[in-house]
Amino acid sequence: MERSGAEQRIDELTEQLNYHNYRYYVLDDPEISDEQFDAMLVELQELERRFPDLRRPDSPTQRVGAPPSDQFAPVEHTVPMLSLDKSFSGDELVEFDRRLKRQLGMDECEPIAYVCELKVDGLAVSLRYDHGVFVQGATRGDGRRGEDITPNLRTVRTIPLRLLDDPPPLIEVRGELYLPIAEFERINVERAEAGEPLFANPRNAAAGSMRQLDPAITASRRLDIFCYGTGAVEGLQFETHTQELERLRAFGCRVNPHVESVASIEQALAYCEQWTERRHDLEYGVDGVVVKADSVALQQAAGATSHGPRWATAYKFPAVEAETVVRDIEVTVARTGQLTPVAVMEPVFVDGSTVSRAVLHNEDEVARKDIRIGDHVVIRKAGDVIPEVVRSLPGKRTGDEEQFEMPRQCPVCGTEVVREEGAAATRCPNLNCPARRLSLLLHWAGRQAMDIDGLGEAVAAQLLDRGLVERPEDLYTLTTEEVVGLERMAEKSARNLIAAIEASKDRGLERLLFALGILHVGRTAAARLAEHYGSLRAIADASQEELEAVPDIGPKIAQSIVDYFARPENADLPERLAALGIVTTRPQQAEAEGTAFAGLTFVFTGGLEAMTRPEAEEMVAGLGGRATGSVSANTDYVVAGPGAGSKLERARELGVQVLGEEEFLQMVREAGEGSPGG
């Protein structure tokens, strides 16, 4: 066959096979036999082998054809993938409706139309289509930055490689990737036979499948997807979320068949109660219902916090409880030195997985719940994920049960433990306690900190035991030769680990500060400090009084930071880390100084027409300013659109200058003209 004829035939086969994939996997309504489909696929594979440059990006042969990757590149989400606030009861769901109406200035009796969708227990992903062709897929990550898993997503048969029905120039489709329950069970049987550790639940298996460096392994897992919305879109607008879902269906995306539009919060609650009873009839795991305001104009007017949209909530199904027996209570030691009692129980199946351990938090919690070794107890999964001991069953005691006592010495290093007056936590004060050092190293390498892929507990323990690493910064002087010497560490794995350590140098100040493991400094505090000070050295030099002036930083956090950098081994830590090539400053800081928005704080309320609220907030940040979610005396400008409510009233009370959207955009234009290169 000549090249011109091959190109035409490749186009025909690609389009036909994509269409039949859609009929088979999405509609479950095939038009041709498996034999016919396979024959067409073989023909396409042969043509692409002869003319590899003619292979189209939406070719169905690419579903398993990509070579294994060495790592996952970061992807910045144009529109953040925000989390949802949760409602744990019917009363909380009704309160969500009341709160939304107050924010919108609506009468409490006026109903809001909602869309109810089953909350599938899986992995959130974003699929980018340029002119209808699937070009990139990413995990949710931290909501603003995820990982590029495009080759793995191509293996999911229900993800269209090309959209149908005249798609726009650009659209990001958001969806929940999941593993059907039957497939989860099949994979665990295979892993058990191979002597491999079992997946804890279908969500864990789905996430693990997507993080395979070899797409062929992902393809063997038979994942599926339900699409539930969009991110960035060009050339297309929706008036309602219902309309948005209808367009996704028309594009060939798989939308959950149980989505239902309702006229009021009462009808939404009835839907939630119905599926609380029916959820176990499904072939996939669900842990609740997502309730969203249907009107897009209403969504824009309500806006979002830094955490999630105000116009949606996740109604969580009541936790399933089970009874078991506590066989022992062990004590673990965390990176902060805190001793934590853990119940070791008779294995019991609870809501999708087998549970044998549950954290009891501290000595007071054990006493409050009166949990003894040998007790019959009721357990559940908090948030449908974390095992939790709810209560003991004293009526089933035999007299052989044992009271729990917190040890007086650290169970790992033998150092006498301490418990400050008024504090709940008991701690090992030994900074060189092996358990603390291991826990800190794993925390440093964690996904939300420096994200070092391949640095698990077994590798970390060997690095510490062999003296190759004393503190986390020692990771950055490791060589491939040293890592190859570890047990079960081949040369390729060693090179991958060294590459992952090298890549972690650029995680940024916020994640670095969190990775240090300073007592009481979580992700929110780290973000506030990084934003306020701009460098690790500035944070280390700050006094307690100065630290307490930073939003969300209280006396306990401030004192902990001061104590941390007062230790001799941490005095020059910022300089040591910088010398290793680790980023210890915020790059935006230098760029922002001297711009028109430097030092200014903005609050957005009501609807915006020319942009989304996240886009407006990005404009502010790009010009050196700061966007927050609440109005205070420190707010410089409130940008108010249609539907503005309590924030606008608060701004007027405080005398804060109020801008319309056009006035804000004019400020942005003037700032851009006045900036270098503007």
Task: Fill in the DSSP letter of residue 236.
Answer: -
Tell whether the torsion through CA atoms of 306, 662, 240 and 646 is positive or negative.
positive
Residue type, 347: P
Structure tokens at 48: 């692409």
Query: How many CB atoms are located within 10 Å of the residue 449 CB?
Result: 22
Is 119 among the residues known to form the active site?
A: yes
| Alpha carbon of residue 77 to chain centroid | 12
- Laid out side by side, the sheet with 601-605 consists of 626-628, 601-605, 637-640, 657-659
Calpha distance 454→497 (Å, rounded): 6
Q: What share of the chain is helix, strand, coil (3-state, %, to 5)?
A: 40, 20, 40
Quote the Cα angle for 111-638-523, to 5°.
Answer: 85
Backbone angles phi, psi at 673, to 5 degrees: -70, -30
Count of Cβ atoms closer than 10 Å to residue 496 Cβ: 18
CB 283 within 8 A of CB 257: no
Q: Is the CB of residue 10 less than 8 Å from the CB of residue 54?
A: yes
Three-state SS for 504? helix
Q: Which of 101, 119, 381, 647 is catalytic?
A: 119
Q: Which strands sit side by side in the sheet containing 386-392, from one edge to the other?
A: 353-359, 339-350, 322-333, 376-382, 386-392
Give the DSSP letter of residue 196.
P
DSSP of 340-384 = EEEEEEEEEEETTEEEEEEE--SHHHHHHHT--BT-EEEEEEETT
435: enclosing H helix or E strand: helix 434-445
Give the residue among 663, 653, 477 at the shortest CA–CA distance from 581: 477
In degrees, rounded to 5, the angle at the alpha carbon of residue 349 between the alpha carbons of residues 347 and 354 is 60
Rounded to whole angstroms, the Cα distance separating 475 from 441 reads 9
Q: DSSP labels for 276-317?
A: HHHGGGSSS-EEEEEEEESBHHHHHHH-B-SSSBTTEEEEEP
Distance (Å, whole) CA 136 – CA 153: 9
SS3 483: helix
What distance in Å separates the CA atoms of residue 470 and residue 340, rounded to the nearest whole number? Answer: 24
Write phi, then psi, for 374 (nearest 5 degrees). 100, -10
152, 206 contact by CB (below 8 A): no
Q: Computed from CA positions of residues 629, 632, 637, 643, in that sequence, does the dihedral angle turn out positive or negative? A: positive
End-to-end distance of the chain based on CA atoms, in angstroms? Answer: 55
CB 336 within 8 A of CB 427: yes
Residues 6+ apart with CB under 8 A from 578: 584
How far is C-alpha 576 from the chain's CA centre? 31
The distance between the two most distant Cα atoms of the chain, rounded to a whole number of Å, is 87
- The catalytic site residues sit at 119
